Copies of this chain bind each other. A is one copy, B any other.
Amino acid sequence: MEPLQVIAAPRRMRILELVWDRELAAGDIAAEFDVSWSAVSQHLTVLKKAGFLVERREGTSRFYRADKEALGPLRAVVEDHWRTSLLRIKHLAEEEECSK
């Protein structure tokens, strides 16, 4: 899958944020969403195949963390996304308001 497509999915973008500077077990990641573990696991697979996530196994658990270097120019996009997300959502809401 194309790197850009990999990070374009909102759920995957959020997963990257969660494991940006700490390791998290798959279950702890899944707990952050109100979708099935299965769905989250499938996203983790996509991110891992793209090389954006590194996996460490310990017992029955699997821990993930972001590989920032692997993102290349997308790294700045990901970091900017979080910085501006609140602001952007506010603007989108205002546009909605105007079109009423």
* A residues with CB within 8 A of B: 2-5, 7-8, 10, 13, 72-74, 76-77, 79-81, 88
Q: Which of A2, A3, A13, A72: most chain B CB closer than 10 A?
A: A2
A4: which of B2, B3, B77, B79 is its contact (CB, 8 Å)?
B77
A74/B77 in contact, CB under 8 A: yes
- Chain B residues closer than 8 Å to A80, beta-carbon distance: 72-73
B8 touches A81 (CB 8 A): no
- Given B2, B77, B88, which contacts A88 in the complex, CB threshold below 8 Å? B2
How far is the CB of A5 from the nearest CB of chain B, in Å?
A: 6
Identity of the chain B residue whose Cβ is nearest the Cβ of A7 in the assembled complex: B4
| Across-interface contacts of A10 in B (CB, < 8 A) | 2
Of the candidates B2, B3, B77, the one whose C-beta lies within 8 Å of that of A73 is B77
Select which of B2, B13, B76 is within 8 A of A76 by beta carbon: B76
User: A13 to B5, alpha carbons, bound, how many Å?
Assistant: 12
